Chain A
Amino acid sequence: MRAYLRTIWESVSTLVTGMTITWRHMVNIRKGNVTLQYPEERWPRPERDIGFDQDDYNVIRSRLHVDMDDCIGCLKCERVCPVDCIKIETEKVDKGEDIPDVGHTGITSNGTKKALLLTRFDIDMTECCYCNLCTYPCPEECIYMTGGPNSEKHPIDYEFSQFDRNDMVYRFAKEASEEQVEKATCVKNGEKKNG
């Protein structure tokens, strides 16, 4: 009987202790302890003081973006991707030549001469696992995740959604019809192709 009563007493007293904590938290409510009204307001992105000489670090996981003017089509990012969500196709063109028809610039911002015309550069963001492996091997630093340290290159975009699954495949290659591509590559490499 005594044990029975003691159990009841302990239950009540520990419940009161627990409720005291709850009430204490309710009384001491501070700014930031309330629910955030998400679509209207957002958590700030953490501010990172990276220091040293490593401010080119890609310290964010968001949507992948490619600066096509800088891409030389080396396929390094395609090869390193563990889920094969990057698909690249290239055509050979003359080194360093601009081909305005298909939006091809011959020289990257680093001064590398581009020998390949990119006819396809697709990133399927539904497959992407945000592992950030593709951004490291890029010799031109043209593939990166948006925002964060790259925010001057591209504003942050981590809440992207689409109504159609196919719209999640981001096509970065400049749009050009097949004839245009054929013309551009044929004219420049006419002798090589025919011979």
Chain B
Amino acid sequence: MGVAAAKEIGPVQAEEMVLNIGPQHPSTHGVLRLKVKTDGEIVSEVIPYIGYLHRCFEKHAESITYEQVIPFTDRCDYLGSMNNNFGFAVAMEELMDIKVPERVEYIRIIMAELNRIASHLLALGVYGLDVGAFTPFLHMFRDRERILDIFELTCGARLLYNYMWVGGVSHDLPRNFDSICIDFLDYFEPKIPEFNELLTTNKIFIERTADVGVMPAEVAISYGVSGPNLRGSGVKWDVRRDEPYSIYDKFDFEIPVGSGDVGTLGDCWDRYWVRMLEMMESCKIIRQALKTIPEGGDVHQMVPKKIRPPKGSIYRRTESPRGDLGYYIISDGSEIPFRMKMRSPALTALSVLDEISAGWMISDVIAILGSLDIVLGEIDR
């Protein structure tokens, strides 16, 4: 009977199937639609469709004053809001030629590094979730909560801060900040080996991520990938060290790069591991900053009454948790930006997805997408 049925159907025809992942899908980390062309289980092409979260940030910025832009930069990369504020403030200060007080610089760096830890904790936690490990997610969110508490203590907000203004920060640090922050670091640093035992060295996790989605350094550079994704491919590039802004040149820290110890250089595991190492480096920076932060002084001292930059333009990039975050601001001498452009690191990371996930299975595409750590709020802006 089986033979007869087979004769009726004819020879098996294999066709390319189009699979739609998203826009509502827990593994797309936001509102992203992936059109995946598959041959059986093997993926031949991944086309990302973006724009579901488009809020006209750049156009809208042309109708509001500079200080009103800062709350909107928060909402682009909502996991690294402090770093977004930081980038904008640094660009504006360079354009307006403002020298901010030294204490403000230290406060900014402490906050930016704390936010980098918080962002990486979330990235690593949900990455574990993507490949099927639930416990590390809870551990990492528990610790991220403590960082958010520190932010709440400092400026009242937990996620969208509007903390770094042009020429200063909105609130000075509380008096007990030192002890609270050091308490947190003392608590957090021993947790990293625990994460490693839970997730990093777990054989199932390694099997899912090592050798998967290899991104060679040339591919990463040609697509403009930056941040931990680029460093995972073994390129030692970090804006904090190579084009130091603020006072990053005063601190002593390593730039962790992928090694390919577990799999191939530039695979998902390397990108994951670079983030883990970066958290430790951030702890180091915060400790140094807390030791040398100058006391006293008004954090609002250099905040201009009216932000009215001279005619001209500026492009300044900073290192956000996701990579090179650039602001291009054109000023026509008024209180309102003439044009503003934000160079988003997550967009370039997403654009490389097709290149590195062709030939892998559907479940691997999820692992690769998670390892790129994209935030759709920043991609669509």
Tell yes or no: B202 within 8 A of A by CB. yes
* CB-CB under 8 A for A82 and B160, given A14-B202, A51-B175: no
Establish whether residues A46 and B152, one from each chain, have CB atoms under 8 Å apart when the complex forms.
Answer: yes
Tell yes or no: B327 within 8 A of A by CB. no
CB-nearest residue of chain A to B133: A18
Least Cβ–Cβ distance between B195 and chain A, in angstroms: 9
Stretch in contact with the other chain, from B63-71, B113-121, B273-281, B359-367: B63-71
Least Cβ–Cβ distance between A117 and chain B, in angstroms: 28
Establish whether residues A21 and B68, one from each chain, have CB atoms under 8 Å apart when the complex forms.
Answer: no
Least Cβ–Cβ distance between A90 and chain B, in angstroms: 22
Establish whether residues A61 and B156, one from each chain, have CB atoms under 8 Å apart when the complex forms.
Answer: yes
Establish whether residues A80 and B68, one from each chain, have CB atoms under 8 Å apart when the complex forms.
Answer: yes
User: Which residues of B are found within 8 Å of A14, using beta-carbon distances?
Assistant: 201-204
Q: Mark A128-153, 1 if CB is under 8 A from B, else 0.
A: 01111100000000000100100000
Tell yes or no: A17 within 8 A of B by CB. yes
CB-nearest residue of chain A to B297: A52
User: Which residues of A are found within 8 Å of B69, using beta-carbon distances?
Assistant: 82
Tell yes or no: A7 within 8 A of B by CB. yes
Establish whether residues A59 and B67, one from each chain, have CB atoms under 8 Å apart when the complex forms.
Answer: no
SS class, residues of chain A in contact with chain B = loop
Among B68, B175, B176, point to the contact of A82 (Cβ < 8 A). B68
Establish whether residues B71 and A131, one from each chain, have CB atoms under 8 Å apart when the complex forms.
Answer: yes
Establish whether residues B197 and A21, one from each chain, have CB atoms under 8 Å apart when the complex forms.
Answer: yes
Tell yes or no: B21 within 8 A of A by CB. no
Tell yes or no: A187 within 8 A of B by CB. no
CB-nearest residue of chain A to B135: A22
Tell yes or no: B198 within 8 A of A by CB. yes
Establish whether residues A130 and B160, one from each chain, have CB atoms under 8 Å apart when the complex forms.
Answer: yes
Complex: A81 Cα to B201 Cα, angstroms: 49
Q: Of B170, B197, B203, which is in contact with the most chain A CB atoms at under 10 Å from its CB?
A: B203
Establish whether residues B172 and A52, one from each chain, have CB atoms under 8 Å apart when the complex forms.
Answer: yes
Among A46, A57, A81, A130, point to the contact of B149 (Cβ < 8 A). A46
User: Which residues of A are found within 8 Å of B153, using beta-carbon distances?
Assistant: 46, 48
Tell yes or no: B155 within 8 A of A by CB. yes
Complex: A57 Cα to B171 Cα, angstroms: 7
Tell yes or no: A60 within 8 A of B by CB. yes
Complex: A61 Cα to B162 Cα, angstroms: 11
* CB-CB under 8 A for A11 and B203, given A59-B155, A132-B162: yes
Among B64, B160, B174, B194, point to the contact of A48 (Cβ < 8 A). B174
User: Which residues of B are found within 8 Å of A131, using beta-carbon distances?
Assistant: 70-71, 74, 160, 162
CB-nearest residue of chain B to A147: B156
User: Which residues of A are found within 8 Å of B203, using beta-carbon distances?
Assistant: 7, 10-11, 13-15
Among B157, B171, B204, point to the contact of A15 (Cβ < 8 A). B204
User: Which residues of B are found within 8 Å of A82, using beta-carbon distances?
Assistant: 64, 68-69, 71-72
Tell yes or no: A37 within 8 A of B by CB. no
CB-nearest residue of chain A to B69: A82
Q: Mark A43-55, 1 if CB is under 8 A from B, else 0.
A: 0001011111010
CB-nearest residue of chain A to B170: A132
Among A17, A22, A46, A129, point to the contact of B160 (Cβ < 8 A). A129
Complex: A58 Cα to B157 Cα, angstroms: 11
Q: Which B305-339 residues have a C-beta within 8 angstroms of A?
A: none
CB-nearest residue of chain B to A20: B197
CB-nearest residue of chain A to B153: A46
Complex: A54 Cα to B154 Cα, angstroms: 13
Q: Mark B201-215, 1 if CB is under 8 A from A, else 0.
A: 111100100000000
Q: Mark A1-29, 1 if CB is under 8 A from B, else 0.
A: 00000010011011101100110000000
User: Which residues of B are found within 8 Å of A57, using beta-carbon distances?
Assistant: 171-172
Complex: A83 Cα to B376 Cα, angstroms: 22
User: Which residues of B are found within 8 Å of A46, using beta-carbon distances?
Assistant: 149, 152-153
CB-nearest residue of chain B to A43: B149
Least Cβ–Cβ distance between B366 and chain A, in angstroms: 21
User: Which residues of A are found within 8 Å of B198, using beta-carbon distances?
Assistant: 18, 21
CB-nearest residue of chain B to A6: B203
Least Cβ–Cβ distance between B148 and chain A, in angstroms: 10
16 A/B residue pairs, CB under 8 Å, sorted by A: A7-B203, A10-B203, A11-B203, A11-B204, A15-B204, A17-B197, A18-B202, A48-B176, A49-B176, A50-B172, A57-B171, A60-B156, A129-B71, A131-B162, A132-B162, A148-B156
5 residue pairs, one from A and one from B, having the closest CB atoms: A82-B68, A131-B71, A46-B153, A11-B203, A51-B175
Given A18-B135, A59-B156, 4 more A-B residue pairs with CB atoms under 8 Å apart are: A46-B152, A130-B157, A132-B157, A133-B162
